[in-house]
Amino acid sequence: MNEDDVLDLLEAVEDPALGDDIVSLGLVNDLDVDGDTVTISLALGAPYSPNENDIAARVREVLEGEGLEPDLTAAIPDRAEAEVLPGVKNVVAVASGKGGVGKSTVAVNLAAGLADRGARVGLFDADIYGPNVPRMVDADDHPQATESETIVPPEKFGMKLMSMAFMVGEDDPVIWRGPMVHKVLTQLIEDVEWGHLDYLVVDLPPGTGDTQLTLLQTLPLTGSVVVTTPEDVAVDDARKGLRMFGRHDTTVLGVVENMSTFVCPDCGGTHDIFGAGGGQDFADANDLPFLGSIPLDPSVRQGGDQGAPVVLDDDNDTGESFREFAAETADMLGFVQRQGVGE
């Protein structure tokens, strides 16, 4: 069997998101046939995403069905040529138009959920004026400096961490003007030894000001997630965040609704404390994927205060909602990356 024969076999493997087979889509980077061993490089950019796991599994199934032994690798071409964060496959920003919607909680649980799936993950707390991530993951260790004056981030729950909270006193306010913020953010992006990551999750500050502009202009974003709660006031501000990404040509992966239905632990009744369906309606109105809804659950607050992300609690229903959200986000990141291969 030669390479053309293998390509003919691979035409049976479809990418369900892109709606065609992986050969026609150009997702086969390279292949080599050596006896019964077939070495294949696939243009898959979202490690441990359900869709890309299924594509790889289908490739193995097709080849093994013909008595071949597949050896698969996955990479999106040319990403390593990026000047900023060359070792990071996907950079995803978590944003909100206003504070108080649980953006940092969503960012922490997204990053921890991706790491729990087996991915190499970094979490960058870019909320300069209100950095809460170290508390939310109970990170006691601080970054270390190397002889070349780069920064080695600490790790927790399989995630590399960086936050302004590591740089200032626990109770010290950050009172800086724009130029200082720009300088520090640039340093935290470029001087941190993130290494090779599958995902870098960036917790943006709320709103649409100078800090967000600096990050959008500096980071090679793969996409962004917009966080809202169901009520109209939050959705109105989320719309502003969406327009900010549109003006900077940043792909919006979708919308996640936080603090949705509350289930009473005593009576089992459901209560729409902040309204219902606002996030879904917002996504539909803007032709965006709806990445999921996260219930209003005291265990989320407890996990944040105690430094134990609820997404890691296998027995928690809200943790399952976060796990589904992390999987949906990974699938969308993979879709964006694979779509770019054929363009």
Q: Is the confidence at residue 172, as pLDDT, over 60?
A: no
- Kindly give the residue spans of alpha helices, DSSP state H, lying in 166-312: 178-190, 210-218, 232-247, 278-285, 298-306
What average pLDDT does this structure show over 152-181? 78
Binding site listing: 97-104
Q: Give 203's pLDDT tier (boundaries 50, 70, 90).
A: very high
> Measuring CA to CA, how many Å separate 48 from each of 64, 88, 198?
21, 15, 9
∠ at Cα 201 (199, 205), nearest 5°?
165
Element (DSSP H or E) covering residue 320: helix 317-341
What average pLDDT does this structure show over 17-39? 95
Q: 274 in helix, strand or coil?
A: coil
What average pLDDT does this structure show over 1-15? 95
Least confident of 112-126, 151-165, 194-208, 262-276: 262-276
- Cα gap 106→160, rounded to integer Å: 17
- 316 burial (CB, 10 Å; 0-12 / 13-18 / 19+) is middle
At the fourth CATH level, the homologous superfamily of domain 3-77 is Fe-S cluster assembly (FSCA) (3.30.300.130)
Q: Give 246's pLDDT tier (boundaries 50, 70, 90).
A: confident
> Measuring CA to CA, how many Å separate 97 from each of 128, 143, 228, 239, 341?
16, 30, 8, 7, 31
Q: For residue 216, what pLDDT is reported? A: 85
- 314 burial (CB, 10 Å; 0-12 / 13-18 / 19+) is exposed
Residue 90 falls in which region: left (phi positive, over 0), alpha (psi -120 to 50) or beta: beta
Binding site listing for ATP: 97-104
Q: Is the confidence at residue 79, as pLDDT, over 60?
A: no
Mind listing the pLDDT tens digit for each residue in 9-27? 999 999 999 999 999 999 9
Quote the strand ranges of the chain, DSSP E: 14-15, 20-21, 28-34, 37-42, 69-74, 88-95, 121-125, 144-145, 151-152, 155-156, 159-163, 197-203, 223-228, 252-260, 262-263, 270-271, 290-295
What average pLDDT does this structure show over 162-167? 84
The DSSP result for 23-58, as a single string, is TTTT-EEEEEEETTEEEEEE---STT-HHHHHHHHH
At the fourth CATH level, the homologous superfamily of domain 80-322 is P-loop containing nucleotide triphosphate hydrolases (3.40.50.300)
Q: For residue 98, what pLDDT is reported? A: 80
Q: For residue 274, what pLDDT is reported? A: 78
- The structure's pTM equals 0.92
- 122 burial (CB, 10 Å; 0-12 / 13-18 / 19+) is buried
- 259 burial (CB, 10 Å; 0-12 / 13-18 / 19+) is buried
Name the token pair of 131: 């950095």
Mind listing the pLDDT tens digit for each residue in 232-243? 888 988 888 888
Q: For residue 211, what pLDDT is reported? A: 78
Name the token pair of 328: 């949906």
Q: Where are the domains of the chain?
A: 3-77, 80-322
- Cα gap 31→25, rounded to integer Å: 15
Name the token pair of 29: 């980077």
Please state the length of the chain: 343
Spatial contact of 292 and 248, defined as CB atoms under 8 Å apart: no
